[in-house]
């Protein structure tokens, strides 16, 4: 007979996983896969002890993995894109002109703005980081700027655009699950996200002053430019490839076919412009690009990409979602959320609990989508009962869920960033300023009441009726 899992049993797998994660990642400096496997084993044993059969536990794991499959496809395509664009000289061209045109003192602000614009246009932080972000890391390293700082700037810009774009999957997910008009949802996020962007630009503007030229040897940049020219054919025409991909997605071509077109064009450039053979170009797509150079910067930057380079990320995503699937579908995650609900006594504590639950879900289930889906189910009716408009909930889901995903090295977002930008979550976390500033601003607004929208009596009745309809649908 199945028993409900209480909070203490629910916390056991999480506690074991976190302790194992700290020992493995921090002390032994190993990959975070095994602690998640251990967490899954403990979660499965707890679930089995409470009356679930093994085939049911397996099904929970498969449900978790299934939710991550779209992300897995994107991860693999980004690996192919990086390989094709490096091999085709596209990344080298972006870095070359970036080093020539952009001043080091304004580079961090510039890369934030560029990533924000691109992500806003295409609705994908991952695609932005996997293309513009890779080039940004190269430019920053060429200017002597630490890679964690550059990664933080790239992440801040990419997640601003993703969060505010009507094409973003998380933006549509948060508005759809809460029955909030998409553009009302985006407008309501202005109150938290725009001030956070201003703070982010100000901080990076200050940090950029240290790279204004005094500590940078211009001969190093000159030598790097020469080495790039010796290694690749540089042409502004190559920039048409990323521009075309951005235009395609802006025209609402789905991300997957748009990326595939970018991969094909990158490989064509590798053969037609860079002079590589077709066989070598195919090998680059599989194993990544390799280059020999006496310049360590060139070797570090361009020896990457390919499908194989993303298998660490893919395996991590699958393991993380296996753990998350058991936690969610066994009821353990609900047990944790129910405890959070007991803290709700005011509007401020309600929004704080929502953001906290999103943070907790990102930490435990390791997936950004779940951090939006589960809390939206838990809190939707509570917001209506308290007379709060659904856009307060949709904003809180994004402020807490979309943005906090990058801080966990075992979350699919943290793993993806490490795989593409080559910077660990613990290293870039202090510089992902927008991502931790937005939740703080959201909490301040919640407790002060500023921008919190209340329901009229008629709106509340309509929303309560809608919740009842959904309950009946589930029952049927």
pLDDT digits (tens, 9 = 90+) for 335-384: 887 887 777 888 999 999 999 989 988 887 777 877 887 788 778 888 98
**% of the chain surpassing 70 pLDDT:** 96
Question: What is the reported pLDDT for 303?
Answer: 87
Burial (0-12, 13-18, 19+ Cβ within 10 Å), 342? exposed
Please check the confidence at residue 7 and state whether its pLDDT lies above 50: yes
Please check the confidence at residue 473 and state whether its pLDDT lies above 70: no
Assess if residue 18 is contained within a domain. Answer: no
Q: Which of 86, 360, 57 lies closest to 238 in space, CA to CA?
A: 86
Assess if residue 106 is contained within a domain. Answer: yes
User: What are the φ and ψ backbone dihedral angles of 106, each rounded to 5 degrees?
Assistant: -115, 5
Please check the confidence at residue 215 and state whether its pLDDT lies above 60: no
Residues 6+ apart with CB under 8 A from 79: 305, 306, 307, 308, 309, 310, 313, 419
* Distance (Å) of CA 284 to CA 241, 264, 276: 18, 12, 10
Higher pLDDT, 431 or 142: 431
Assess if residue 352 is contained within a domain. Answer: no
Burial (0-12, 13-18, 19+ Cβ within 10 Å), 199? middle
Assess if residue 368 is contained within a domain. Answer: no
* Distance (Å) of CA 55 to CA 51, 59, 294, 361: 12, 6, 56, 25
Confidence tier at 474 by pLDDT (50, 70, 90) = very low
Q: Are 358 and 398 in contact (CB under 8 A)?
A: no
3-state secondary structure of 82: helix
Question: Residues in the chain, how many?
Answer: 476
Beta bridge partners of 194: none
Confidence tier at 470 by pLDDT (50, 70, 90) = low
Averaged pLDDT, 154-159: 96
Residue 305 sits in which domain range?
A: 69-310
* Distance (Å) of CA 51 to CA 37, 45, 55, 216: 21, 10, 12, 64
Please check the confidence at residue 475 and state whether its pLDDT lies above 70: no
Assess if residue 103 is contained within a domain. Answer: yes
Q: H-type helices in 218-295, by residue range?
A: 218-231, 240-250, 255-272, 278-287
Average pLDDT over the chain, rounded to an integer? 87
Distance (Å, whole) CA 195 – CA 198: 5
Question: What is the reported pLDDT for 218?
Answer: 64
Averaged pLDDT, 231-236: 95
The number of domains in the chain is 1
| Residue pLDDT, tens place only, 388-433 | 999 999 999 999 999 999 999 888 899 899 988 999 999 999 999 9
Question: What is the reported pLDDT for 101?
Answer: 83
Please check the confidence at residue 31 and state whether its pLDDT lies above 60: yes
Assess if residue 203 is contained within a domain. Answer: yes
Higher pLDDT, 412 or 306: 306
Assess if residue 218 is contained within a domain. Answer: yes
* Residues of the chain by 3-state class (helix, strand, coil), percent to 5: 80, 0, 20
Assess if residue 47 is contained within a domain. Answer: no
Question: What is the reported pLDDT for 406?
Answer: 95
Distance (Å, whole) CA 375 – CA 412: 18
Question: What is the reported pLDDT for 196?
Answer: 97
**% of the chain surpassing 90 pLDDT:** 46
Q: H-type helices in 22-146, by residue range?
A: 33-49, 54-87, 90-101, 104-122, 125-128, 134-142
pTM over 0.95: no
Among all chains, which residue has been given the structure tokens 């890391």?
Answer: 137
Structure tokens at 243: 């521009």
């Amino acid at each position: 007979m199945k028993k409900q899992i209480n909070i203490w049993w629910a916390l056991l797998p999480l506690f074991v996983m976190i302790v194992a994660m700290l020992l493995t990642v921090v002390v032994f400096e190993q990959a975070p896969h095994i602690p998640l496997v251990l967490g899954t084993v403990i979660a499965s044993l707890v679930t089995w002890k409470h009356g679930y059969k093994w085939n049911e536990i397996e099904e929970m794991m498969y449900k978790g993995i299934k939710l991550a499959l779209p992300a897995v496809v994107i991860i693999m395509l980004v690996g192919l894109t990086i390989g094709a664009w490096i091999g085709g000289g596209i990344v080298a061209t972006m870095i070359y002109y970036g080093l020539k045109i952009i001043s080091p003192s304004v580079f961090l602000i510039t890369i934030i703005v560029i990533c924000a614009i691109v992500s806003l246009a295409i609705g994908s932080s991952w695609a932005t980081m996997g293309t513009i972000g890779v080039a940004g890391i190269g430019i920053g390293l060429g200017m002597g700027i630490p890679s964690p700082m550059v990664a933080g700037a790239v992440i801040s810009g990419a997640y601003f655009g993703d969060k505010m774009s009507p094409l973003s999957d998380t933006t549509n997910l948060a508005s759809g699950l809460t029955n909030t008009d998409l553009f009302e949802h985006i407008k309501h996020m202005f109150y938290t996200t725009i001030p956070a962007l201003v703070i982010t630009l100000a901080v990076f503007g200050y940090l950029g002053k240290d790279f204004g030229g005094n500590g940078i040897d211009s001969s190093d940049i000159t030598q790097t430019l020469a080495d790039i020219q010796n290694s690749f054919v540089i042409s502004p025409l190559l920039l048409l490839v990323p521009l075309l991909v951005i235009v395609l997605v802006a025209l609402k071509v789905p991300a997957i076919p748009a990326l595939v077109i970018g991969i094909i064009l990158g490989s064509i450039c590798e053969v037609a412009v860079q002079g590589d053979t077709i066989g070598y170009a195919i090998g680059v797509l599989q194993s990544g690009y390799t280059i020999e150079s006496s310049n360590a910067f060139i070797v570090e930057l361009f020896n990457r990409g390919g499908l194989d380079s993303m298998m660490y990320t893919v395996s991590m995503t699958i393991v993380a979602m296996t753990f998350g699937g058991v936690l969610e579908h066994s009821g353990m995650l609900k047990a944790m959320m129910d405890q959070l609900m007991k803290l709700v006594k005011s509007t401020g504590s309600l929004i704080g609990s929502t953001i906290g639950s999103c943070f907790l879900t990102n930490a435990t289930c390791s997936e950004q989508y779940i951090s939006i889906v589960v809390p939206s189910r838990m809190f939707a009716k509570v917001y209506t009962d308290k007379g709060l408009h659904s856009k307060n909930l949709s904003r809180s889901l994004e402020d807490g869920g979309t943005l906090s995903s990058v801080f966990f090295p075992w979350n699919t977002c943290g793993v993806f960033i490490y795989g593409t930008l080559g910077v660990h979550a613990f290293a870039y976390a202090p510089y992902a300023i927008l991502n931790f500033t937005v939740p703080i601003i959201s909490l301040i607004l919640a407790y002060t009441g500023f921008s919190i929208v209340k329901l009229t009596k008629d709106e509340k009745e309509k929303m309560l009726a809608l919740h009842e309809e959904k309950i009946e649908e589930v029952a049927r």
